[in-house]
């Protein structure tokens, strides 16, 4: 431990212990997560990454990567710093007009910003910063107001591409180094042209259902630009092909974000100044939970969830599958929200979507698939039970949940509902009789409750049915009543 502390700058303290594996003793060294960049005493810096096959490796950390690492640790905001070589003359007045139009036209835009002078607006949104008494554009300022030729010259990393493929044929291949607001407008125009809609009827009304949810696309695009690593070469890329839509951006998940906690981790980004500016002008989600909207955009149409599984340490990749919408499920969600007078919670939507696919699942299975907290899952399920959207079966740890009869009925899937609930209940009588035959012809209410994973009250209901059918009779009463099988049922298998 002393050797490691003396060989690192700044010194790191580790924990060591000897563990036994088989017939060997192994030295286990635990290294805490550092809140800064660490090098060897000789000045050598290394970093770990995952190779293409998923195995880890250690490679050199280059000087330009230090900025990225400090940004991931929230110790440095690259987007708030001055951009080398840039001057105020690199701002385009037309883009400033576009910025104010965005604030004016978006509900989330802070209208008070419209009354500020240019210099005041620059300070409020951190578009400029002062160094030695002189004002320079920040990275955020150039990304929002910079002239395209100057962005291409000073920030070659701030590039973007929109591509459309039909089979192997390239239909669209547009690349740009323009400021972000201009890029957003262009890419939304491309998306509308290659995102066909069809109409479904809700009584007297018609609603357009797009191939890809527009809000999900917008949030995915904003996240890609907002959280990308601007110190790394590469482009934000939107690809629409036969399989679906992919939005990728350079730089992996920021430190602390994983596939497992993507929906629950506390919002924090790689470029806080840029993220704050996009929120204040009304483009980005104020709460920082744009990821919820991305998932919601697929769930409300009964489609597969967005997929981040191809994300690596150097690239975040969002894939939204091209899939047919489930019109009846969409209508049911819309009708239920109209009845409640409010939107269903994100947790409720996740549960309904999962049960639609899984048919039946317990709490542990729902937690495993959604990666949401068990406490919030339980609360959401209780609300869904009260609203009649979900049914529960069994007790304790064996309790499972499925979509309610109402949902199956309104989806014209009554047969599937009976199949899910009826088969096991039809088998109850034979299961009880079989248990009695293996216990010298005797069963108790608790026996039946344990066997069928139902409450003692429901167990007694099943026993009463068999008594009325003449297959069981009460052998002895009292608190621990016993029921004996009729002689004609003893020899049956």
Among residues 58, 73, 88, the one where a domain terminates is: 73
Residue 30 backbone dihedrals phi, psi, to 5 degrees: -100, 125
Confirm if 91 and 259 have CB atoms less than 8 A apart.
no
Based on the domain organization, do 352 and 415 belong to the same domain? yes
Based on the domain organization, do 353 and 406 belong to the same domain? yes
pLDDT digits over 252-282, tens only?
888 778 888 888 887 677 899 999 999 999 9
Quick one: pLDDT at residue 235?
94
**Alpha-carbon gap, residue 372 to 364, rounded angstroms:** 10
pLDDT in tens, the chain (493 residues): 778 888 888 888 888 888 887 788 888 888 887 777 888 888 888 887 766 566 788 888 877 677 777 776 666 788 999 998 999 999 999 999 999 999 999 988 999 999 999 999 999 999 999 998 899 999 999 999 999 999 999 998 899 999 999 998 999 999 999 999 999 999 999 999 999 988 877 666 677 889 999 999 999 999 999 989 898 888 999 999 999 999 999 988 887 788 888 888 876 778 999 999 999 999 887 766 788 999 999 999 999 999 999 998 789 999 999 999 888 888 888 888 888 888 899 999 999 999 988 888 889 999 999 988 889 999 999 999 888 888 887 776 778 888 887 777 776 665 666 656 655 566 788 888 888 888 888 889 888 888 877 778 888 888 988 988 888 988 887 767 889 887 655 555 4
Quick one: pLDDT at residue 130?
93
Quick one: pLDDT at residue 456?
82
Based on the domain organization, do 462 and 478 belong to the same domain? yes
Quick one: pLDDT at residue 51?
65
Based on the domain organization, do 400 and 444 belong to the same domain? no
Based on the domain organization, do 353 and 412 belong to the same domain? yes
| Number of domains the chain is built from | 3
Based on the domain organization, do 463 and 410 belong to the same domain? no
Confirm if 133 and 158 have CB atoms less than 8 A apart.
no
Among residues 44, 73, 102, the one where a domain terminates is: 73
With respect to residue 135, please indicate whether it lies within any of the assigned structural domains: no
Quick one: pLDDT at residue 200?
76
Distances (CA, A) of 277 to 24, 202, 271: 57, 39, 10
With respect to residue 460, please indicate whether it lies within any of the assigned structural domains: yes
Confirm if 32 and 14 have CB atoms less than 8 A apart.
yes
Residue 44: which domain range?
Answer: 2-73
Task: Of 301, 141, 286, give the one whose Cα is nearest residue 210.
Answer: 301
With respect to residue 473, please indicate whether it lies within any of the assigned structural domains: yes
With respect to residue 357, please indicate whether it lies within any of the assigned structural domains: yes
Q: How many CB atoms lie within 10 A of CB 365?
A: 14
Among residues 371, 394, 424, the one where a domain terminates is: 424
Quick one: pLDDT at residue 319?
97
Based on the domain organization, do 414 and 375 belong to the same domain? yes
- For residue 403, the domain's CATH number is 1.10.10.10
With respect to residue 210, please indicate whether it lies within any of the assigned structural domains: no
Based on the domain organization, do 403 and 348 belong to the same domain? yes
With respect to residue 257, please indicate whether it lies within any of the assigned structural domains: no
Quick one: pLDDT at residue 50?
66
Could you tell me the pTM of the whole model? 0.75
Based on the domain organization, do 346 and 400 belong to the same domain? yes
With respect to residue 204, please indicate whether it lies within any of the assigned structural domains: no
With respect to residue 472, please indicate whether it lies within any of the assigned structural domains: yes
Task: Please classify residue 120 by burial: count the beta carbons closer than 10 Å to its beta carbon, then call 0-12 exposed, 13-18 middle and 19+ buried.
Answer: exposed
**Alpha-carbon gap, residue 119 to 127, rounded angstroms:** 9
């Amino acid at each position: 431990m002393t050797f490691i502390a003396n060989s690192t700058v700044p010194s790191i303290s580790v924990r060591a212990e000897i563990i036994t594996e088989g017939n060997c003793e192994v030295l286990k060294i635990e290294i805490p997560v550092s809140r800064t960049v660490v090098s060897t005493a000789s000045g050598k810096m290394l970093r770990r990454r995952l190779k293409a096959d998923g195995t880890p490796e250690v490679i050199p950390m280059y000087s330009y990567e230090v900025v990225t690492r400090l940004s991931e640790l929230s110790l440095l905001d690259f987007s708030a710093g001055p951009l080398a070589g840039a001057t105020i003359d690199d701002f385009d007045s037309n883009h400033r007009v576009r910025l104010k139009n965005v604030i004016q036209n978006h509900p989330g835009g802070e209208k008070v910003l419209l009354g500020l002078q240019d210099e005041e607006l620059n300070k409020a949104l951190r578009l400029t910063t002062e160094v030695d008494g002189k004002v320079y554009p920040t990275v955020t300022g150039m990304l929002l107001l910079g002239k395209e030729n100057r962005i291409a010259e000073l920030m070659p990393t701030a590039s973007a591409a929109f591509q459309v493929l039909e089979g192997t044929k390239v239909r669209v291949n547009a690349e740009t180094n323009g400021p972000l607001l201009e890029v957003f407008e262009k890419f939304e125009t491309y998306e509308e042209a290659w995102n066909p809609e069809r109409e479904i009827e809700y009584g007297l009304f018609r609603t357009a259902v797009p191939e890809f949810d527009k809000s999900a696309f917008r949030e995915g695009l904003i996240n890609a630009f907002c959280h990308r690593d601007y110190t790394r070469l590469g482009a934000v890329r939107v690809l629409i092909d036969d399989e679906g839509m992919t939005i990728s951006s350079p730089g992996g998940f920021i430190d602390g974000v994983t596939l497992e906690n993507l929906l629950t981790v506390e919002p924090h980004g790689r470029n806080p100044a840029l993220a704050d500016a996009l929120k204040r002008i009304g483009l980005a989600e104020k709460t920082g939970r744009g990821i919820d909207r991305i998932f919601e955009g697929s769930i409300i149409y009964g489609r597969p969830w967005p997929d981040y599984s191809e994300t690596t340490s150097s690239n975040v990749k969002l894939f939204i599958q091209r899939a047919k919408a489930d019109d009846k499920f969409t209508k049911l969600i819309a009708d239920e929200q109209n009845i409640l007078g409010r939107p269903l919670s994100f947790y409720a939507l996740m549960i309904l979507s999962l049960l639609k696919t899984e048919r039946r699942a317990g709490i542990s299975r729902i937690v495993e698939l959604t990666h949401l907290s068990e406490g919030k899952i339980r609360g959401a399920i209780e609300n869904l039970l009260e609203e009649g959207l979900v049914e529960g079966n069994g007790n304790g740890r064996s309790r499972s949940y499925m979509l309610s009869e109402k949902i199956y009925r309104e989806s014209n899937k009554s047969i599937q509902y009976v199949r899910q609930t009826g088969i096991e209940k039809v088998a109850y009588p034979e299961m009880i009789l079989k248990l009695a035959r293996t216990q010298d012809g005797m069963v108790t209410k608790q026996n039946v409750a344990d066997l069928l994973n139902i409450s003692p009250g429901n167990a007694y209901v099943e026993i009463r049915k068999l008594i009325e059918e003449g297959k069981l009779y009460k052998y002895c009463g009292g608190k621990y009543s016993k029921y004996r099988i009729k002689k004609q049922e003893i020899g049956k298998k």
